[in-house]
Amino acid sequence: MKTQRAVIWAGFLGLSAALAWAPEHWFGQEDSVGLFAGKPAATGSVSTPDRVEADTSGRGAAAKGPERVSTDLFPSQRWSKPQTLATVTEQPVIATPVVVAAPTAPALPFQFVGRLGDRDDLQVFLQSGEKLYVVRQGDVIEDTYRLDRVSANELDLVYLPLHQSQTLSVGSAP
């Protein structure tokens, strides 16, 4: 088994060395080192099977003119048309006046639930979502609203960030 493996390796390395040493013999290149090092070939032309024409005697003859081997291995290529430059035309800018709307207070988040007490000590019950607030005249609700005035039909609240007054209807007096 060991000798068989050694024979296979020796054959592989020998074949590789033969291909590297004499490429022009098998591939028809005259000066393979000159082609890759940027030097022109020894005769300046390469004869390939697609450029051989048959003459009258049946032997192959070289193409009509000598062809130069290109030393540029990676020539630039374009697959698309070159883009044309766009023309720019200046147009006057029409400035439209910007109308800035004054900020307004959001809609009241409270619902009137009821009131308790007499005129001097009147407590008002307001609901906002799940929260229930018990407030009197002059109280501030969560640093956002202040109850200014309580009347028989409405409550006057002030939205503190903008100091805007809002009214909440409470129905008829008891």
Helix (H, G, I), strand (E, B) or coil at 8: helix
pLDDT digits (tens, 9 = 90+) for 123-138: 999 999 999 999 999 9
What pLDDT shows up at residue 81? 84
What pLDDT shows up at residue 28? 60
Strand partners, 149: 156
In 3D space, the residue among 13, 50, 43 whose CA is nearest the CA of residue 29 turns out to be 43
pTM confidence score:
0.43
Residues lower than pLDDT 70 in the chain: 23-70, 172-174
pLDDT digits (tens, 9 = 90+) for 106-115: 999 999 999 8
What pLDDT shows up at residue 25? 67
